[in-house]
Structure 1
Amino acid sequence: MTQDDGGLDGLVRKRIRALRVAQGWSLEELATRARLSPSSLSRIENGQRRLALDQLVTLARALDTSLDQLVETDTDDVIVSPMIDGTHGLMRWPIKAEPGMTVMRQRMTSPPSDNPAGMRAHPGREWLVVLSGTAVLMLGHRRFRVETHQAAEFPTMLPHAIGTAGGPCEILASSTAKPAAGTTPTRPPSRTRTDHDHRGLRGHLRGRQPEQSLSCLMSKTPCI
């Protein structure tokens, strides 16, 4: 019988196949690494065989990932709206998984300031690409002309400023801010697992019950 592919089981099966394809492995190659028969692996991927915990542990190891990552069900918001700064003509998006990292899109109409007081410096790195027009990047004592579709990357501890080389210019930039010396970077706290508690899964692992399905193992209610 084909297992329900709309829930956790289906997500894990798709993830196994996607990780295998990303490695460039055939069914036979992954099956060999996971000590399964190719037909068994095919039925696992296609939802025609129940997922067992011992198989998941072996597959996670063969795919060079962890059991937690293989059964991850995080459903954080996927769509992120930009923070808009109309005064400076820019939009900014934070990268939630990487605190301190942002992506910015900016339209500029003025050249960079020649005054050193107008240059910025801060811990981190920045990468940018010119979407349209031509930009001028001031980096320390050097001046760079960056044409459309060209990119630049530099440590932001170098005093820097960016502007146009004439007409309007639009850039897309990614910056990573490093924490100040003596501080420890923090990451968002892990989400509290409710429907699918990994501690329960690990308890089953220690109990060595390989024939139960993944949906049973991850559920708080007993499966009969």
Structure 2
Amino acid sequence: MTTSEDVLAGVGPRLQALRRARGLSLAALAAETSLTASTLSRLENGKLRPTLEQLLPLARAYGVPLDDLVAAPPTGDPRIHLRPVRRAGFTVVPLTRRPGGIQAYKVIYPPAGGGNTTTLQTHDGYEWFYVLNGNVRLVLGDQEYRLGPGEAAEFDTRTPHQISSADTQPAELLTLFGAQGERAHLTPSPPPPS
């Protein structure tokens, strides 16, 4: 049986792994969480027993549930508790909770004219999306595309782009995004000649 001491002993290595996976220094994390670098170091090395007041800002900084920091045992509840986030007029529901790699999201764009921006954006990464419901307007460079339910698109996000609903209904997408340029859809290589 796992004791509370066992659970708390595992917090330090998890905190250190999360910080290293994100490439953060103790000083940078300290600035983001308002905890001192010394406190963070002692938490990671197991020399300081973590408190809720210390773990909450760390969970926020890493974007993970508190349960992930303490490796809370599963409750047996099969429900998934997703937390939607509103961003620039649209709603994003994170579907993955691990750091790095390709991330999955459900994205809901409001009806056309309902707060959609017309500004093209660029950023590092690669995006693939599948239209679940509604119609989507994808502007990619100087090209414009309209996609309906069951259609998919993929593109390098360094290309100026904008995604929005194409009509008076919300558009729902399943999106896979690789911040490091990982592609979600790979074409297999042809077999070598015989």
TM-score norm. by structure 2 comes to 0.44
TM-score norm. by structure 1 comes to 0.39
